[in-house]
């Protein structure tokens, strides 16, 4: 079974290089645990060009969101440590990863959430070598006001459990699942960290993020009808299984730490 929603096979990473024409780095080893993690969008449809301009594909087999012109917000389990790092390539501005109009940037620094050990605290920043000024950024939720309802997820990950990574960005809508329900014996049996993780998906399964979607945003409209990021793709048992919704880093819980880190990184 797969828990984390990151590509963990260097062979698969190599295949993505051939498919996308981008430079991939080997995915970091998944955190210790029971070995059950996954995220691409299962049960989704193709996004239209420009629909989600802040979506980012990262060369280690993860997603992300453009937080500022120089910072990509992603998952901590997508990176190995905090420090200088020029090995990651970010692809932005396109639905089709092979499009000649795609924007690419290399990284120059990675910031992983302090204290991250594979259990919670699953957020990180990747700083780009030069700013991307032509694309909209995605604001983060700073309160719990939008941590319920129906969310949108998007990514280039697998469109089925064990499936191939996607050339075109897929999107889907998933409903909020309460902490109590998500931690019930029929779902995750207390494995979800209620204070800092948020669940979304259908009891019947069928729609979910999957391997390769890790680090990508979960978002919804705010009171002004603008997009706001409420989650970061983190983990789940398999992809789109019944009673196994996706588990996302709850951005509102970490919003102060995220903003402080961004400021320290010049973003």
Q: Which residues does the annotation mark as catalytic?
A: 77, 122, 214
HSE value, Cβ hemisphere, 13 Å, CA-based, for 256:
4
Question: 109 near 83, Cβ under 8 Å?
Answer: yes
Name the nearest CA neighbour of 211 among 250, 162, 151, 153.
Answer: 162
Question: 150 near 198, Cβ under 8 Å?
Answer: no
Distance CA 51, CA 183 (A): 33
Distance CA 111, CA 85 (A): 10
Burial (CB count within 10 angstroms: exposed 0-12, middle 13-18, buried 19+), residue 194: middle
Kindly state the tokens that stand for 95.
């639905």
Q: Residue 263 contacts by C-beta under 8 Å, 6 or more apart in sequence?
A: none
Kindly state the tokens that stand for 199.
């669940």
Question: 137 near 73, Cβ under 8 Å?
Answer: no
Name the nearest CA neighbour of 116 among 193, 209, 169, 1.
Answer: 193
């Amino acid at each position: 079974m797969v828990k984390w929603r990151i590509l963990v096979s260097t062979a698969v990473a190599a295949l993505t290089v051939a498919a996308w024409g981008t430079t991939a780095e080997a995915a970091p080893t998944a955190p210790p645990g029971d070995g059950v993690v996954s995220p691409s969008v299962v049960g989704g449809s193709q996004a239209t060009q420009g629909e989600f301009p802040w979506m980012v594909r990262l060369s280690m087999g993860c997603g992300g969101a453009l937080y500022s012109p120089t910072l990509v917000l992603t998952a901590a389990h997508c990176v190995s440590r905090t420090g200088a790092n020029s090995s990651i390539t970010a692809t932005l501005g396109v639905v089709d990863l092979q499009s000649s109009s795609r924007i690419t940037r290399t990284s120059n620094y990675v910031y992983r959430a302090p204290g991250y050990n594979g259990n919670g605290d699953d957020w990180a920043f990747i700083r780009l070598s030069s700013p991307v000024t032509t694309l909209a950024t995605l604001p983060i939720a700073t309160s719990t006001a939008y941590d319920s309802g129906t969310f949108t997820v998007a990514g280039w990950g697998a469109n089925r459990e064990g499936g191939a990574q996607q050339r075109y960005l897929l999107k889907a809508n998933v409903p909020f699942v309460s902490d109590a329900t998500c931690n019930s014996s029929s779902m995750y049996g207390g494995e979800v960290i209620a204070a800092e993780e948020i669940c979304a998906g259908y009891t019947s399964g069928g729609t979910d993020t999957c391997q390769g979607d890790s680090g990508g945003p979960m978002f919804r409209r705010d009171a002004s009808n603008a997009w706001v990021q409420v989650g970061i793709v983190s983990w789940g048992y398999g992809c789109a299984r019944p009673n196994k919704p996706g588990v996302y880093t709850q951005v509102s819980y970490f919003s102060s730490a995220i903003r402080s880190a961004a400021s320290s990184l010049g973003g």
